[in-house]
Structure 1
Amino acid sequence: MEFNVFLYLAAIFGAGYCIKLVTNAIKIPEVTGYVLLGVILGTSLLKLLTADVLNALSPLSTVALGMIAFTIGIELKMDVIKKLGKSILAIVIFESGGAFAVVFLVLRFIYKADLNTSLLLGAVASATAPAATVAVIKQYKAKGPLTSTVLAVVGLDDAAALIIYVFVEGFVSSNLVGKSVAIPAMLGSALLAIFEAICIGIVAAIIYSLVLRKVKNNDWIALLLAAFLFALLGVCETIGVSELLSIMTFGMIIVNSSPTLSKKSEGIVSNFSPIFLAAFFILGGAHLNVALIGKIGVLGLFYFFARSIGKMGGATLGAIIGKAPKQVRGLVGFALLPQVGVALALALAINKKFTMPQFGQSGIDLASTIINVLLFTTIITEIIGPLLTRFALTKAGETNNSSDHQ
Structure 2
Amino acid sequence: MIGTSLGWMAQRLRLPAVTGQIVAGVLLGPSALALFDEAGVQDLAPLTHFALALIGVTVGAHLNVRRLRNAGRRLFWLLIAEATITPLFVGGLILAATDAPPRLALLLATLAVSTAPATVIALVRETRSRGVFVKTLIAAVAINNMSCIFLFELARSAGRLMGPGTDLAAVSAADVLVTSMGRLGQAVIIGAAMAALNHIITLRVLRSERLTTLSVVTLLLTFGLASFVEVSPLAACLSLGVVQTNLSPLRERLVDAVFADFEPVILCVFFTLAGLHLSLSQAAAGGMIALLFLLARGAGKLVSARVAMILAGATHRVRQNLGPALLPQAGVAVGLVILIQSDPAFGAVQEIFTAVVLTAVTVNEIVGPLATRVALGRSGEIGQDRARLVDFLQEENIVTGMHAGTLEEAIEQLVDLLISSHHLQGVDREELLRSVLEREAQISTCLGEGLAVPHGELPEGFGMLGVMGLSAEGLPFPTPDGQPVRCMVLLATPHGERDRHLEVLAALARTLGGDPVMRQQLYFVDTPAHACEILHGEDTEAFNYFLSEED
* Superposed pair shares fold, TM > 0.5: yes
Asked if 1 retains the 8 angstrom alpha-carbon contact of 2:334 and 2:357, the reply is: no
Q: Is 1:88 matched with 2:75?
A: yes
Q: How many residues in Structure 1 have an aligned counterpart in Structure 2? A: 379
Q: How does 1:6-405 map to 2 (within 5 A)?
A: 11-12=1-2, 15-17=3-5, 19-20=7-8, 22-111=9-98, 113=100, 115-128=102-115, 130=117, 132-133=119-120, 136=123, 143=130, 144-162=134-152, 164-166=154-156, 168-169=158-159, 172-173=162-163, 176=166, 180-334=170-324, 335-338=326-329, 340-345=333-338, 347-348=340-341, 352-355=344-347, 364=348, 366-396=349-379
- How far apart, CA to CA, are the structure 2 residues paired with 1:354 and 1:71? 27
Q: 1:338 to 1:285 in 2, by over 3 A?
A: same
Counterpart of 1:376, as a letter, is T
Q: 1:23 to 1:394 in 2, by over 3 A?
A: farther
Q: How far 1:277 moved relative to its partner?
A: 1.7
- How far apart, CA to CA, are the structure 2 residues paired with 1:369 and 1:344? 11
Asked if 2 retains the 8 angstrom alpha-carbon contact of 1:16 and 1:278, the reply is: yes
Asked if 1 retains the 8 angstrom alpha-carbon contact of 2:85 and 2:304, the reply is: yes
SS at match of 1:324: coil
- How far apart, CA to CA, are the structure 1 residues paired with 2:364 and 2:189? 32
Q: How far 1:213 moved relative to its partner?
A: 0.8
Structure with the larger helix share: 1
Superposed CA offset, 1:316-374 (max 9, x none): 3223223334333233333244153344145336x52144xxxxxxxx3x454434333
CA RMSD in angstroms, aligned pairs only? 3.2
Of the structure 1 ranges 168-177 and 40-49, higher mean CA displacement relative to structure 2 is found in 168-177
Gaps of 5+ in 2: 386-551
Q: 1:247 to 1:184 in 2, by over 3 A?
A: same
- How far apart, CA to CA, are the structure 1 residues paired with 2:243 and 2:202? 14
Q: Tell me: higher relative CO, structure 1 or 2? Use CA pairs within 8 A at least 6 residues apart.
A: 1
- How far apart, CA to CA, are the structure 1 residues paired with 2:335 and 2:307? 23
Q: 1:294 to 1:74 in 2, by over 3 A?
A: closer
Asked if 1 retains the 8 angstrom alpha-carbon contact of 2:111 and 2:152, the reply is: no
SS at match of 2:199: helix
Q: How far 1:232 moved relative to its partner?
A: 0.6
Structure with the larger strand share: 2
Asked if 2 retains the 8 angstrom alpha-carbon contact of 1:204 and 1:250, the reply is: yes
Asked if 1 retains the 8 angstrom alpha-carbon contact of 2:337 and 2:353, the reply is: no
Q: How far 1:234 moved relative to its partner?
A: 0.4
Asked if 2 retains the 8 angstrom alpha-carbon contact of 1:41 and 1:48, the reply is: yes
Asked if 2 retains the 8 angstrom alpha-carbon contact of 1:96 and 1:160, the reply is: no
Q: 1:220 to 1:150 in 2, by over 3 A?
A: same
Asked if 2 retains the 8 angstrom alpha-carbon contact of 1:158 and 1:244, the reply is: no
The normalised TM-score by structure 1 is 0.80
Aligned-residue identity in percent: 24
SS at match of 1:172: coil
Superposed CA offset, 1:155-192 (max 9, x none): 42234423651564266249615762222221111221
Q: How far 1:46 moved relative to its partner?
A: 3.0
Asked if 2 retains the 8 angstrom alpha-carbon contact of 1:35 and 1:383, the reply is: no
Superposed CA offset, 1:196-254 (max 9, x none): 12211221111111112132111221121111011011011222223233222222222
Asked if 2 retains the 8 angstrom alpha-carbon contact of 1:92 and 1:156, the reply is: no
Runs of 4+ in 1 over 6 A off after TM superposition: none
Q: How far 1:138 moved relative to its partner?
A: 6.1
Q: 1:367 to 1:279 in 2, by over 3 A?
A: closer
Of the structure 1 ranges 122-131 and 263-272, higher mean CA displacement relative to structure 2 is found in 122-131
